[in-house]
Chains A and B, each alone.
Chain A
Amino acid sequence: MLEIENLYLEVDGRPVLKGLDLRIEKGECHVLLGPNGSGKTSLLLGILGFPRYLVTGGRIVFKGDDIDDLTTAERVKLGMGIAFQNPPVIRGIRLGDMVGLCRGDKSGEITDETRVLAKKLHFTEEFLERDVNAGFSGGEIKRSEILQLMAQDPDFVMLDEPDSGVDIENMELVGDMIGELLHRKELPSKRTASGLIITHLATISGYVDVDWAHVMLGGRIACSGNPDQVIREVMEGGYEKCVKECQETQNQILRNIL
């Protein structure tokens, strides 16, 4: 689905990613951990081709093609989708309109389909009339982002901290919906959607089963592995320690091979 090779990325002229490698296969769900400011959000926005996130080296291959030349909209049309960490307020566009736009419906009417989906995410009809993100609470933003993703139904789903600031009941709901987006109820071979989920406390891994975990440090993926193990090491010893242990294991394996 997605192959990132030796990626260098600058944000407004400032180097953020420095030789990042990441590979996500069809049907897989990956989580990405890493300290504040390490470049996790930048990675997602770079994958989407946001204007100020400039690839200065390496490449991003999506569904077999280098997507360097494509605009954000074109990448989205190829099947990418994102739930933002801090989305802007869009005045004059109602959440209900936005959900329609995600589905490719530009009529400006709030359809029954939209209402059904909104109900699933515990939004009232009145809520759909509100301007996108205007005065939404933290938890409402998360659900609204996921609502839009579900209307879009992309093959590659990026979620930037879907579990931050979400209460326990909503967490269950968010987990179920992400599971649905990523076809987690299907047999692994039947899953056609893949996911990359940024998380700090890995709360989401208690609600969605995850195939891989990565730690970002120094602008690279410094450690990858079994999610239970990686998450446990990060939670117990912090990022640096996890990365160190990861490298030791790797060296061990390399030694055994040679």
Chain B
Amino acid sequence: MREGVSGDAEPDIEKYTLKSEKHDEKDLHTIADEYEKSFLSVGYDPDESERSGSFLQLDHSVMCSKVLQEGVEVMSTTDALLKYPWLSQYWWRAVAAEKDIYTRQVDRKQTHGYFLRTLPGVKTTFPLQSCLFIGQEGLSQNVHNIIIAEEGSELHIITGCSVAHKVRSALHLGVSEFYVKKNAKITFTMIHNWAPEIEVRPRSGIIVEENGVFISNYISMSPVKDLQMYPVVYCRKNARATSQSIVYASDDSKIDIGSKMVLDGENSRAEVVSRSVATDRADVTARGILVGAAPNVKAHLECIGLMLSDVARIHSVPELEATVEDATLSHEAAVGRISEEEIAYLAARGLSEEEAAGAIVRGFLNVDIKGLPAALGEEVRRMIRMSADAL
């Protein structure tokens, strides 16, 4: 793990407070009404139609943890640890507690987080939803999430992180550990909707056991002060992992994201697709590392950036590392601006220059989201389209 670009200032975690006013669960409805729009914008539907469970945390208070389908578990990680003594075995197994100052901070000063689990063989019909929301100025939210899909189960998650409009500055630290057991599948769609002064440090590790499938979709379309994340996926024998990210970086956003796929089980497969747009003075680093460490593994990395401003920056860092002979690793990376020829083509169909550029950017961000259940896939596509239309 590299700590950002050398010489850059890291968030000062001491600057943020860990004292949070306790919110009462009874106020859930008032809060859901107040922040309905923000919740919806990150995929959290307070009406819970077409959801198999909900988890909502405001600042340091768990407002809602609800199960809507049998065989599914939703609770705060704090409650889960009390309920299941065995859970401590999953603590800091996919992410090292001593990885960096942020994991250390979460280890020492955790403020809940969610525990989501499907029991063996259970398949969620609708996705589970979760939302981590900051409503208090200057707060440090330090969540630790554990997600487990037991053998042969299928768990679809849509999760969002956002802040109240009134919050100017805050810090979000989020450790997420995923355990995809044998023959199980997790799809994880995460939508970030931050604000120009928010600092964000998620740290994720994903262990995909034999024949397991992990699909991650990440969407961030609003400005953020400084966001850095670098989930690491470990693929055991025959495992499949896909990571797709769509980032629109504007204002002075500094975004450093990527995925690392460690193919340490034979016959495993991985794919990383990253699309980033940088406008204004945004600075985007799009990373991707594929590590082929077992026989007959195959992985591909596609990292494409679109520059919309002369003072923005996109730094694309694709890396391939093979430690065995028969690993097939490939990548394609491209960074460029909108082609004049494409604008002209659309102009010839009656679109003004702005309209044409908008259509091309929307098209660029409109990544084909694969592997989700049909309704969720449609919902995610609609959300991408809506946020792209709002640009």
Partner-B contacts on A (CB < 8 A): 48, 50-52, 71-73, 76-77, 81-82, 84, 87-88, 90-93, 98, 101-102, 104, 106, 108, 131, 148, 152
* Contact assessment for B352 and A71 in the assembled complex, using a CB-CB cutoff below 8 Å: yes
Closest to B339 in A: A88
Provide the residues of chain A in CB contact with B366, threshold 8 Å: 92
Provide the residues of chain A in CB contact with B346, threshold 8 Å: 90, 101
> Does residue B67 face the partner (Cβ distance < 8 Å to A)?
no
CB distance from B343 to the nearest CB of A (A): 8
Provide the residues of chain B in CB contact with A108, threshold 8 Å: 362, 385
CB distance from A163 to the nearest CB of B (A): 20
CB distance from B388 to the nearest CB of A (A): 10
Closest to A129 in B: B368
* Contact assessment for A92 and B364 in the assembled complex, using a CB-CB cutoff below 8 Å: yes
Provide the residues of chain A in CB contact with B341, threshold 8 Å: 88
Q: Which among B339, B342, B344, B362 is the interface contact of A72 at CB below 8 angstroms? A: B344
* Contact assessment for B385 and A148 in the assembled complex, using a CB-CB cutoff below 8 Å: no
CB distance from A81 to the nearest CB of B (A): 8
> Digit string of B350-380 for contact with A (CB within 8 Å is 1, else 0)?
1111010001101111100000000000000
CB distance from A181 to the nearest CB of B (A): 15
Pick 5 A–B contacts, CB within 8 A, sort by A: A72-B344, A73-B355, A90-B360, A92-B366, A93-B359
CB distance from A45 to the nearest CB of B (A): 8
Partner-A contacts on B (CB < 8 A): 339-342, 344-353, 355, 359-360, 362-366, 385
Q: How far is the CA of A92 from the CA of B361 in the complex (A)?
A: 9
CB distance from A70 to the nearest CB of B (A): 11
Provide the residues of chain A in CB contact with B340, threshold 8 Å: 51-52
CB distance from B360 to the nearest CB of A (A): 7
CB distance from B246 to the nearest CB of A (A): 11
* Contact assessment for B364 and A76 in the assembled complex, using a CB-CB cutoff below 8 Å: no
* Contact assessment for A101 and B359 in the assembled complex, using a CB-CB cutoff below 8 Å: yes
Q: How far is the CA of A131 from the CA of B364 in the complex (A)?
A: 11
Closest to B304 in A: A91
Closest to A104 in B: B350
Q: Which among B342, B348, B360 is the interface contact of A76 at CB below 8 angstroms? A: B348
Task: Report, nearest first, the 4 A-B pairs whose CB atoms are least far apart.
Answer: A92-B363, A72-B347, A93-B363, A76-B350
* Contact assessment for A101 and B350 in the assembled complex, using a CB-CB cutoff below 8 Å: yes
CB distance from B307 to the nearest CB of A (A): 15
CB distance from A132 to the nearest CB of B (A): 8
Q: How far is the CA of A71 from the CA of B344 in the complex (A)?
A: 10
CB distance from B166 to the nearest CB of A (A): 33
Q: Which among B353, B362, B365 is the interface contact of A73 at CB below 8 angstroms? A: B353
CB distance from B304 to the nearest CB of A (A): 9
Q: How far is the CA of A48 from the CA of B349 in the complex (A)?
A: 11
* Contact assessment for A101 and B348 in the assembled complex, using a CB-CB cutoff below 8 Å: no
Q: How far is the CA of A101 from the CA of B345 in the complex (A)?
A: 12
* Contact assessment for A90 and B342 in the assembled complex, using a CB-CB cutoff below 8 Å: yes
Whether A88 touches B352, Cβ cut-off 8 Å, given contacts A93-B359, A101-B359, is no
Provide the residues of chain A in CB contact with B344, threshold 8 Å: 50-51, 72
Provide the residues of chain B in CB contact with A104, threshold 8 Å: 350
Q: How far is the CA of A92 from the CA of B344 in the complex (A)?
A: 16
